[in-house]
Chains A and B, each alone.
Chain A
């Protein structure tokens, strides 16, 4: 069965960077894209971008341009998101999700809570 398992919760100080991983299993990793979606406390879902599991290409939401990096390692079927210059507004649960054609998020990770606090 398809599973996406994310790394553990993180606590970071303002100005630091955080890297979250998403390990996929149960399907051919290179056949799908992995997206990242975040949810601030009590708020809705916010799309952040995607990484192509095959070619490694990326697309980021404009508001994160310049401080976001997504990557993947096909040898271990794992996708990553790194967000830099963290502020308290980045405190959120970060989800990875797989898309299948034509664009629905059919499997989700369990979420990783990132807390930004001094």
Chain B
């Protein structure tokens, strides 16, 4: 199954907002009700930031929010901070008990 599609890069100045999209196809079997998002800093393991499209795990700042429209899920980071500079990946359970990741988006804080 093919990866979910993300833009390779996104950027914003401190205090601004940035939104990352994650798009699948109707045939990839992904369950878009269960999209999750991960933040990964260089040399570190990914960290869960959003699950079930809009839910935040305990400890994740409310500057991070998720949404969905059709086959496209989105992650928005509001009030950008220097520490938000990282790679972000979306993921979803796909058909036949498989999972799939997006290609990743590098967020740069200008």
A interface residues (Cβ-Cβ under 8 A, vs B):
35, 37, 44-47, 50, 59, 61-62, 95, 97, 102-106, 108-111
Contacts and interface: CB of A to CB of B under 8 A. Distances in A.
Contact residues of A: prevailing secondary structure: strand
Nearest to B8: A44
Interface of B: 1, 3, 31, 33-34, 36, 38, 40, 45-48, 51-52, 57, 87, 89, 91-93, 96-104
Given A44-B3, A45-B46, A111-B45, A105 B97 contact: no
B100 A110 contact: no
A47 B98 contact: yes
B101 to A, nearest CB: 4
Given A105-B91, A106-B51, 6 more contacts: A44-B101, A45-B91, A59-B96, A104-B51, A108-B45, A111-B45
